[in-house]
Chains A and B, each alone.
Chain A
Amino acid sequence: MLEAVEIEVRFGGLTAIDRVSLALGQDEILGLIGPNGAGKSTLVNALTGFQKPTRGVVRLDGVAIGRWPADRIARLGIARTFQGVRLFQGLTVIENLAAAAIGGGLKRPGAEARGRDILAWMGLDGRDHQLAGALPYGDQRRVAIGRALALAPRFLLLDEPAAGMSDAECDALVGLIRRVPEEFACGVLLIEHNMRVVMAACRRIHVIDSGRTIAAGTPAEIQADRDVIRAYLGTKSEPGHAGR
């Protein structure tokens, strides 16, 4: 169980996250949505050691990990992707995945084998020896998910994985993400602007606005929630509209 308890993150006078609590099990996909600037990425940073919470506790199976360095948290099995992708551009695709598997404790041959398995699982095989930076944008995002999975994580935090993808690519991505909890025994926290992706992938959704939790529940409950409509969906012309 990965838990955030009353997390608060402040940058000087600005409160980016204001007492947000959430819990993620290893067998589920939790959606995290909110308008631009709501603090979604900051929350992911706080959960993964890239941002020390000003207050509150991050717990992994009851152990407080909020002050640990990011690489140590990753080795404990909390993997993440970045909005900005952040692949190892000058390395090949297989090296990208192998590096993460090595970070997770494997030796070189085992790391490459795991990388190849994951690439095959994602339908990215055949790209092994291409430079990651030379791939199309959508493939780079998928390789980034593959790199996170190469850590053999117990929790996977995806920060806008569908950004810039076509509807068909989004549907394929949802198909993959939905298989992660069962096939990798890994819980997923899915941050996404694209409602189509979130509603299709998650059975539970957490909504934040201006750093505060404003709603949590099933997709149907969230879509009917007045605060959510006001804060988020109301600003868009229709719920299915992609964030960018």
Chain B
Amino acid sequence: MAGPRTPLKWLETYSTPIALTLILVGVVGLTWASGAAVFAQTVTDTLIRIMLVVGLYIFIGNSGVLAFGHIAFTLIGAYGTAWLTLSVFKKSFALKLPLILAEHQYAVFPSAIAAALLASLVALVVGVPIMRLSGIAAAIASLAVLGMFHTFYNNWSGWTMGAATLPGLPLYVDMWVALGWVAFALFVAFAYQRSRFGLALRATREDEFGARAAGINIARQRLIAFVLSAFFMGLAGVLHAHFLGSIAVKSFWLGLTFTSLAMLIIGGQRSLTGAVTGAVVISGITEVLRQMEGGFTLGGVTLALPLGSQELGIALVMLLVLIFRPAGLTGGRELAFRLGRRRRADA
């Protein structure tokens, strides 16, 4: 399993993100061919959630440290892209920004990168003290970070319009754009997890004492993953912002925190495949239940599930998975394929 030497070997080594991407391309392609606009919305929404869960996975999956604060980076990414991409007129109307932001409207692609980098930068600053913590202390500290940014953005009127919804962002994210970014995230996440940094971090997940004895600086390895993870959490915020066209601080709070964590845990927090599976399965169930809350026809009778069925359904699925498959649906395994002749099985 050393470095990939031939193109064939490369395809095998990266078979997990390749397979996952191909499946997503298939789904998006079919949706596009069917021309169903409503379904396209659902698929885009699911892709954004995959981005969120992959972002969470990079840190939580590899480090084994539960973190509750990652949605703060999504919040930062969403507002970051708003500051850059809103038209000058809208900015002057709604916000009080410094001139370099107020007098320019930047292109969406570099803005997306810049907003995600801003999230990474914040992660670097808050991560230095937090990454020294483990277990429940780390989880609570990260939640405190989310609380801080939530309060800050809610009251920072000149930049965020406070608790009000900030409208008018360019609507450029459709399912193809989201797919492109998700594919990028999948390859980066996978390259990271098989890199020396990813392996060192997974070692700390398995045994902290063993890792220290192996010369691994736990805080540093966690910080690397934290910063990388924040980049994709930030990108998810960017996609969300330009998919809906408006953002509000309250969308990036405990609801989204727990939904995204539930997706990761249900899918299987120890594999990239698990992260994607969780996002897809939960989004699917949510969508079906939402449709049923809206009313459906069964044998000539129109029925509707009571409001709240979505939340109850997700809670039920979560309980069942945790009871019967505590390691998540994928149980930590990766989707992968072999090309050409099978290598001799290891004796």
Contact = CB atoms under 8 A, between A and B. Distances in A.
A151 B215 contact: yes
B5 to A, nearest CB: 10
Contact residues on B (Cβ < 8 Å of other chain), bracket: 20 to 34
A104 B2 contact: no
Contacts of B195: 108
Given A71-B218, A88-B206, A102 B200 contact: yes
A241 interface: no
Given A126-B347, A128-B346, A86 B199 contact: no
A111 interface: yes
B209 interface: yes
Interface string A118-138: 000000001011100000000
A104 B209 CA distance: 16
Contacts of A90: 202, 205-206, 270, 332
Contacts, number: 106
Contact of B214 (A89, A99, A107, A128): A99
A87 interface: yes
B338 interface: no
B199 A104 contact: no
Interface stretch (A72-80, A167-175, A212-220): A72-80
B213 A88 contact: no
Interface in B200-231: 200, 202-203, 205-207, 209-218
B90 interface: no
A160 B346 CA distance: 31
Nearest to B201: A99
Contacts of B212: 49-50, 69-71, 74
A98 interface: yes
Among B203, B216, B346, B347, max chain A CB count under 10 A is at: B203
A108 B199 contact: yes
A48 interface: yes
B202 A109 contact: no
Contacts of B207: 86-89
A95 interface: yes
Contacts of A86: 207, 209-210, 213
Nearest to A102: B196
A74 B209 CA distance: 12
Interface residues of A, number: 44
Nearest to B218: A71
B213 A74 contact: yes
Contacts of B218: 71
Nearest to A150: B214
A90 B63 CA distance: 13
B3 interface: yes
Given A89-B206, A99-B199, A99-B203, A104 B213 contact: no
Contact of B209 (A50, A72, A79, A91): A50
Contacts of A71: 211-212, 214-218
Interface string A28-41: 00000000000000
Contacts of A72: 217
A112 interface: yes
B100 interface: no
A82 B1 contact: no
Contacts of A107: 196
Given A88-B206, A94-B1, A99-B199, A82 B346 contact: no
B192 to A, nearest CB: 12
Given A71-B215, A90-B205, 8 more contacts: A71-B216, A82-B213, A86-B213, A88-B211, A96-B203, A99-B200, A108-B2, A151-B214
14 contacts: A49-B212, A71-B211, A71-B218, A79-B213, A87-B207, A88-B206, A88-B207, A90-B332, A99-B199, A99-B203, A102-B196, A106-B196, A107-B196, A108-B196
Q: Give 6 closest A-B pairs by Cβ, nearest first.
A: A103-B215, A88-B206, A74-B215, A100-B214, A99-B203, A86-B210
Interface of B: 1-3, 194-196, 199-200, 202-203, 205-207, 209-218, 270, 332, 346-347
